[in-house]
Amino acid sequence: MQTLKARSAPYSTARLARLCQSGNVEPEKARTWELGTRYDDGALTAEMGLFLINFNNQYDSNQTNDTVTARGKTRHTGLETQARYDLGTLTPTLDNVSIYASYAYVNAEIREKGDTYGNLVPFSPKHKGTLGVDYKPGNWTFNLNSDFQSSQFADNANTVKESADGSTGRIPGFMLWGARVAYDFGPQMADLNLAFGVKNIFDQDYFIRSYNDNNKGIYAGQPRTLYMQGSLKF
């Protein structure tokens, strides 16, 4: 089960130095407040947290000339929650079966005075989450899972209509399903673990837009994909 966090700027210091426009660029700073709680009674494990993040000078990627500028003030408010429940506590028939879910709501707004004040920060979906079920009999693990996120925008103006080059426009939300089967051979075989899985079971079409570079346009989402993986300790 994954924990969902507010998105932060994915730049290295070297990349920033190379891409920032000429002149003085103030550091990106943020002040964060968080309040959370956790519950665990052996069968149910749950967490919930509220957060408020104020950026005084959040960076912004300009896809027109591949530079980084200061978007200015932004405010990120929301909550994140996750839970897991062992169904075996209800009936022995469901031993080794557990369900889990996570959800995050993030309202990321531009707070710099100007034409885009109050708009959503680009590439910041308001809703993200996961749903899943695990079945773990003996050394086997069977998993069915899903990930979803709501729509988002690709520019500060929150442009809905797609541009000719595909760099701006609303990005529709999507929900993807996956499945995985794994077997753990145990310490007698160096904890060898072999797994087989499928991503995007229903072969749903979805896309994202270019971010952080000057390759304008959209990227097609990963189609239905079968995979195998293995790991061991040494």
Tokens of 207: 């896309």
What are φ and ψ of residue 68, in 5° steps?
-115, 130
CB 119 within 8 A of CB 150: no
Burial tier of 215 (Cβ tally within 10 Å: 0-12, 13-18, 19+): exposed
Count of other CB atoms within 10 angstroms of residue 230: 9
Per-residue pLDDT of the chain (234 residues; tens, 9 = 90+): 333 443 334 444 444 444 555 445 677 888 999 999 999 999 999 999 999 999 988 877 665 555 667 778 999 999 999 999 999 999 999 999 999 999 999 999 999 999 999 999 999 999 999 999 999 999 999 999 999 999 999 989 999 999 988 888 999 999 999 999 999 999 999 999 999 999 999 999 999 987 665 667 888 999 999 999 999 988
Contacts of 120 (CB under 8 A, 6+ apart): 107, 108, 109, 110, 126, 152, 153, 158
Q: Measured between alpha carbons, how far is 64 from 125 in angstroms, rounded to an integer?
A: 23
Q: Write down all domains in the chain, each with its CATH number in brackets.
A: 32-231 (2.40.170.20)
pTM above 0.75, yes or no: yes
Residue with tokens 């932060």: 8
